[in-house]
C-alpha cells in the first residue's frame, strides 16, 4: 500500500538559483502546447458531473490524489462542496474505488494529467474554492526544477484557478520555493511544520509520520 518513506535526498541546499528566472518566464509567456484529447475528455466528464450535481456548489480539487484517501476525507469534511480527486494512474484510482466503496456522493475521482486539466479549468474561467496538492515526490534533483509545479509552464493556470491552496511535503525547500513563486505575483503564504499528532490525510503522510520525518504545510489564498 505504502510508497517509499525515505527522506528526500537533493543536491540543492537551498532554493534553486534559477527559480525566479523560470517562474518569470512562464508568467510572461503563456503555455502554448496542445492539450491532449484524453485531458479534454476528462474535463468534459468533470463539467457533466458538475452540471448534474449543481454548478452552484463550491468546486474543490485534490490533485495527485493517488488512492483517494485525501479526496474522501475532503469530501466528507466539506459536504456542501463538489470535490474532484485527480490522478493520472488508472491503477491507483481503481484501488480507491475498491477501498472506499461507496464513494461520497459529492466526490468524483477523475483520471487526468493535472497540468492538462488545470489548463482547461483556467481557460474556461472556472474557479476552485480549495486546491490541495499533498505529497509525494517533489522532483528533488536540481536538474528537475521545471518538473516541479512552480517551475512548470502550467503554474500560471494553477494561480488563475484561485481558492485556498494547500501543499504538504516532507521537503521544506520545495515548499520554500512554492512560497517564493507565489510571492512573485503578490501572494503571501504561510509555511509551518505539520504537528506530529495530525491525523494523516494520505498513505504517504502516514508512512512519513511513522518514520519520524518532519512534515511541512504551506497555505495561501490565491
Identify whether 31 is part of a domain.
no
Nearest 5°: the CA angle 126, 128, 130 is 170
User: How does pLDDT run across 65-108, given as a tens digit for each residue?
Assistant: 999 999 999 999 999 999 999 999 999 999 999 999 999 999 99
Cell of 138: 517533489
CB atoms within 10 A of CB 129: 18
pTM exceeding 0.85: yes
Select from 165, 161, 181 the least CA-distant residue to 23. 181
Select from 116, 44, 53 the least CA-distant residue to 83. 53
Can you tell me the mean pLDDT for 161-190? 97
Identify whether 173 is part of a domain.
yes
Identify whether 93 is part of a domain.
yes
Identify whether 20 is part of a domain.
no
Number of structural domains (the chain) is: 1
Q: Which residues span the domain enclosing 95?
A: 38-48+56-221
Average pLDDT in the chain? 95
How distant, in Å, are the alpha carbons of 2, 18, 46, 150 from that of 76? 23, 40, 19, 29
pLDDT band at 3 (very low <50, low <70, confident <90, very high): very low
Identify whether 28 is part of a domain.
no
Cell of 140: 528533488
Q: What is the pLDDT of residue 5?
A: 65
Share of the chain above pLDDT 90, in %: 92
Identify whether 110 is part of a domain.
yes
Q: What is the pLDDT of residue 2?
A: 40
Q: What is the pLDDT of residue 8?
A: 86
Q: What is the pLDDT of residue 4?
A: 53
Select from 107, 164, 156, 109 the least CA-distant residue to 133. 164
CA distance 111 to 145: 25
Identify whether 205 is part of a domain.
yes
Amino acid at each position: 500500500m505504502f510508497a517509499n518513506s525515505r527522506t528526500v535526498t537533493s543536491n540543492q541546499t537551498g532554493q534553486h538559483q534559477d527559480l525566479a528566472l523560470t517562474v518569470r518566464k512562464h508568467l510572461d509567456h503563456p503555455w502554448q502546447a496542445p492539450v491532449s484529447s484524453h485531458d479534454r475528455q476528462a474535463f468534459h466528464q468533470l463539467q457533466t458531473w458538475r452540471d448534474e450535481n449543481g454548478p452552484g456548489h463550491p468546486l474543490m480539487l485534490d490533485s495527485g490524489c493517488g488512492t483517494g484517501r485525501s479526496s474522501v476525507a475532503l469530501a466528507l469534511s466539506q459536504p456542501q462542496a463538489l470535490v474532484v480527486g485527480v490522478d493520472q494512474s488508472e491503477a491507483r484510482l481503481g484501488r480507491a474505488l475498491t477501498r472506499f466503496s461507496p464513494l461520497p456522493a459529492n466526490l468524483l475521482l477523475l483520471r487526468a494529467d493535472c497540468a492538462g486539466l488545470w489548463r482547461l479549468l483556467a481557460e474556461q474561467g472556472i474557479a476552485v474554492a480549495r486546491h490541495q496538492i499533498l505529497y509525494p515526490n517533489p522532483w528533488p534533483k536540481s536538474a528537475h526544477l521545471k518538473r516541479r509545479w512552480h517551475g512548470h509552464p502550467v503554474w500560471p493556470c494553477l494561480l488563475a484557478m484561485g481558492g485556498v491552496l494547500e501543499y504538504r511535503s516532507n521537503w521544506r525547500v520545495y515548499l520554500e520555493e512554492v512560497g517564493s513563486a507565489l510571492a512573485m505575483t503578490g501572494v503571501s503564504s504561510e509555511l509551518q511544520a505539520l504537528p506530529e499528532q495530525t491525523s494523516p490525510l494520505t498513505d504517504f503522510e502516514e508512512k512519513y509520520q511513522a518514520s519520524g520525518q518532519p512534515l511541512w504545510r504551506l497555505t495561501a489564498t490565491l
